[in-house]
Amino acid sequence: MNSLLPSIVSRSQSSGIMNFFVPIISIVLTLITGSIIFVLLGFDPVYALYTFFISPISSTYGISELFVKATPLALIAIGLSYCFKNNIYNIGAEGQLTMGAIFGGGIGILFHDTNAFWLLPLMIFAGAIGGALWGLIPAILKTKFNTNEILTSLMLVYVALFILDYLVVGPWKDPFGYSFPKSRPFSESGRMPILFDGLRVHFGLIITLFLIFVSWFIFSKTILGFQLKVSGYSPKAAKYAGFNQTTLVFFAFAICGAFAGIAGLAEVSGPIGLLYRDISPNYGFTAIIVAFLGRLHPIGIIFASLVIALTYLGAEDAQLFLQIPSAVGFIFQGLVLFYLLGAELLINYKLTYKKLL
């Protein structure tokens, strides 16, 4: 005779099949919950879901916009996977993104009347440095003073946002900007080249795909990737094997910060073209969802970034056509993460019915 309620038993090895199916299950459940919410609000669910998920990408321009939104999300998420694989909870990517935009954008403002081929590479480099430096603060504090990186990286987000705010209303304000809190526009050579005429998808996409490929190589083909993975699974095993945990923490934070910084720079030198207060609609936090949804795998992250980018676009269309505030996109993002985290149980644990007799 079996007991009525299943009991949860931890798997010796996480289930590979479930690893693949759990993200899909959670997306389906999110869509079902979303339609229920639309019905409750008095909308035709088919029309609402169409407005949200199909109509935004039914034109070439829409697909280009999808890639514009997915670019920073994928780039930050792949950076985060260096940390998350090693069980380092860096949740401050939004701050690292902001600092990247400040460093890179600062170069852009300094050379606002220069047109030269070296300007954009220099800005990208500065963006990576800015993000990496901001990411290294929690790494130093964690390794030197044993502070909790979750709390420090989170606090640093707000410090970075206030620094940006100070710069664009203060020293870096556009002298010809009619006192709007924004900087001078960057010069033409300080902008990300557009990939297709008339669309906004930019060179940042190429950088992102390149860095995802490099990361795939590091994760699967190098000792470093192996060390990250081992110390994530079992810190003790990593210690016995002689891996230097301090170096790994520094490496993960620096890479993640640099990627987030490049993402921030790509935003300000891509679609935006100058610095102002709201350069990121929470990309740094949303990328955490992307990293989880993509199961920290490069290919998974590409797909996940497109799915989550669609919630941003859908929310904009929903605001236009259904008069729903665009923040509704956050509901879908929250829901998909809830379902994903709940369903993760199926990856690491299995449900069994204990024999009673």
Binding piece for other proteins, criterion CB under 8 A, among 42-50, 122-130, 138-146, 233-241: 138-146
2 interacts with other proteins by CB under 8 A: no
Q: Which of 63, 163, 195, 206 binds other proteins (CB under 8 A)?
A: 163
Can you tell me which of 122, 151, 218, 224 binds other proteins, judged by CB under 8 A?
Answer: 151
Question: Which one of residues 88, 107, 328, 347 is an interface residue with other proteins (CB under 8 A)?
Answer: 328
One-letter amino acid of 262: I
Q: Which of 20, 47, 166, 213 binds other proteins (CB under 8 A)?
A: 166
Closest to other proteins by CB, 107 or 347: 347
- 145 interacts with other proteins by CB under 8 A: yes
What is the C-alpha to C-alpha distance for residues 91 and 108, in angstroms, rounded to an integer?
Answer: 27
The helix, strand and coil proportions of the chain, stated in percent and rounded to the nearest 5, come to 70, 5, 25
Per CB under 8 A, the list member of 148, 220, 234, 244 interacting with other proteins is 148
Q: How far apart are CA 140 and CA 253, in angstroms?
A: 10
- Residue of 99, 181, 329, 347 interacting with other proteins (CB under 8 A): 329
Structure tokens at 59: 């034109």
Residue 284 near residue 94 (C-beta atoms within 8 A): yes
**Contacting other proteins within 53-92 (CB under 8 A):** 89, 91
**C-alpha distances out from residue 134 to 129, 137, 163, 171, 193, Å:** 9, 6, 12, 21, 27
Least Å from the CB of residue 213 to other proteins: 26
Q: How far apart are alpha carbons 264 and 104 in whole angstroms?
A: 9
Site for other proteins in 15-44 (CB under 8 A): 41
Dist CA 305 CA 290 (whole Å): 6
- The minimum distance between CB 93 and other proteins, in angstroms, equals 11
Among residues 121, 96, 102, 143, the alpha carbon closest in space to that of 257 is found at 96
180: CB partners within 8 A, 6+ apart? 174, 276
Q: Please select the residue that binds other proteins; options are 320, 334, 351, 354, rule is CB under 8 A.
A: 334
> How many helices (H) and strands (E) would you count in the chain?
14, 2
> Which residue from 331, 261, 311, 282 is spatially nearest to 53, judged by alpha carbons?
311
**325 touches other proteins by CB under 8 A:** yes
Token pair listed for 208: 């992102």
Give yes or no for residue 133 binding other proteins (CB under 8 A). no
- Under rule CB under 8 A, residue 237 binds other proteins: no
Lookup result for tokens 């890639």: 67
Taking the CA atoms of 298, 303, 308 and 312 in sequence, report the sign of the dihedral they define: positive
Shortest distance, position 151 Cβ to other proteins, whole Å: 6
Stretch of 14-22, 159-167, 188-196, 253-261 lying at the interface with other proteins (CB under 8 A): 159-167
Position 252 contacts other proteins (CB under 8 A): no
Give residues 276-295 in contact with other proteins (rule: CB under 8 A): 282, 285-286, 288-289, 292
Q: Report whether 184 contacts 174 (CB < 8 A).
A: yes
338 binds other proteins (CB under 8 A): yes
> What is the binding site for other proteins (CB under 8 A)?
7-10, 41, 89, 91, 141, 144-148, 150-152, 154-156, 158-159, 162-163, 165-166, 169-170, 282, 285-286, 288-289, 292, 324-325, 327-335, 337-338, 341-342, 344-345, 349
